[in-house]
Amino acid sequence: MKHLLSAQDLTRESAIGLLDTALEFSAVAARSVPKLPTLRGVTMVNLFFEDSTRTRLSFEAAAKRLSADVMTFQAHGSSVSKGESLKDTAQTVEAMGADIIVVRHGMEGAARELAHSGWVNTPVINAGDGVGAHPTQALLDAATLRNHLMPEPRGSGLEGLSISIVGDIMHSRVARSNVFLLNTLGASVTVVGPDTLMPPEAAGWPCENLRDLDEAIAGNPDAIMMLRVQKERIDPEQLGGMDRYSARYGLTEARANALPQHTIVMHPGPMNREVEIASVVADSSRSVILDQVKNGVSVRMAALYEVWGDHS
């Protein structure tokens, strides 16, 4: 795998390979010195044109656990404010010694363009491009689902599992990447949300489409993944107001109690507490939200290991 750009580029075999590698790496975190020499002498650059907490920090942690050197670029405070382009920024960091570039950008397709334009010769990992893709998020979600719900995670897909993804599907690269990856791994996926937050192309995705959250809950999903309402991209009037949205699509305590006991609650973060998810549910024993964060580090170690291994 020269680059990691989209969950749709992953075959079942390559996805399971990445998840198994991540499982091996997760054991490193438990050591007194959680470090391997695997990427010693390699420099990973985080090229972040959009804000991030989890993805940026976990790529940093992943690279450091593999003994790579890390440089972080954030558009805010950089020469992007003077009009510098993605191409010039990427070539600048490559000239400073970048061996692997991890990019987050607001424009859909930016990571693929960087990988295939010939601007740089490094492997590129997509850390989120507009509403396009967020493949490492989907992989860490799959890792979390395997660990919690599959009797023997190593080597397994997600056959037999049903997963509901709820909320702002329209603006979510997490939803897009998860629908395709979870389907590739054998799970049944349902997307749930109001018409105003459901992109027309969802009708052609390999998943069921629902408008009613209570109907999805009555289907006894094994996992329910709540999505952040991307308030910065939505006029609340479109939703009839946030209170109305929460009443129809929020995972309240009553709705969580209607789920089967084994059902896990997921959220990619950052959360709007009391909008798409009640605090009491986010902090409950069935919530695996912090496990998702923890699995993000080992999945990103696996992604760095794979792209570097195929490049060098």
Binding to ligand CP by residue 130, rule CB under 6 A?
no
Using rule CB under 6 A, residue 53 touches ligand CP: yes
Q: Which of 103, 52, 49 is nearest to 76 (CA)?
A: 49
Show contacts with ligand CP in window 73-112 (CB under 6 A). Answer: none
Q: How far is the CB of 138 from ligand CP (least distance, A)?
A: 11
Cβ proximity to ligand CP: between 99 and 141 the closer is 141
Distances (CA, A) of 44 to 69, 98, 154, 189, 281: 6, 6, 28, 34, 37
Tokens of 135: 């493949």
Is residue 54 part of the contact set for ligand CP (CB under 6 A)?
A: yes
Smallest distance from the beta carbon of 134 to ligand CP, in angstroms?
A: 6
- 270 near ligand CP, rule: CB under 6 A: yes
Is 52 a residue that touches ligand CP (CB under 6 A)?
yes
- Confirm if 1 and 306 have CB atoms less than 8 A apart: yes
Residue number with CB closer to ligand CP (53 or 209): 53
Is residue 177 close enough to count as binding ligand CP by CB under 6 A? no
Instruction: Report in angstroms how near the CB of residue 251 gets to ligand CP at its nearest.
Output: 17
Q: Which is nearer to ligand CP, 55 or 144 (CB)?
A: 55
Least separation, in Å, of the C-beta of 267 and ligand CP?
9
Token pair recorded at residue 176: 């897009």
Q: Which one among 130, 153, 219, 269 touches ligand CP, defined by CB under 6 A?
A: 269
Q: CB count, 10 Å around CB of 204?
A: 7
Segment contacting ligand CP by CB under 6 A, of 1-9, 69-77, 141-149, 265-273: 265-273
Write the interaction track for ligand CP spanning residues 136-155; mark x where CB under 6 A is met and - where it is not: -x------------------
Q: Is residue 268 within the footprint of ligand CP (CB under 6 A)?
A: yes
* E strands, the chain, in order: 43-48, 69-74, 100-105, 124-129, 162-166, 188-192, 208-210, 223-226, 264-266
CB 52 within 8 A of CB 12: no
Does residue 231 belong to the site contacting ligand CP (CB under 6 A)?
no
Q: How far is the CB of 128 from ligand CP (least distance, A)?
A: 6
φ, ψ of residue 100 to 5 degrees: the values are: -135, 135
Does 220 engage in binding with ligand CP (CB under 6 A)? no
With CB under 6 A as the rule, give the number of residues binding ligand CP. 9
Q: Which is nearer to ligand CP, 167 or 268 (CB)?
A: 268
Long-range interactions of 55-61: CB distance < 8 A, separation 24+: 55/104, 55/127, 55/128, 55/134, 55/136, 55/137, 55/296, 56/104, 56/127, 58/293, 58/296, 58/297, 58/300, 59/102, 59/125, 59/127, 59/300, 59/304, 61/297, 61/300
In order of 18, 160, 263, the CA distances from 187 in angstroms are: 17, 6, 14
Nearer to ligand CP, 65 or 217 (CB): 65
Contact footprint for ligand CP (CB under 6 A): 52-55, 128, 137, 268-270
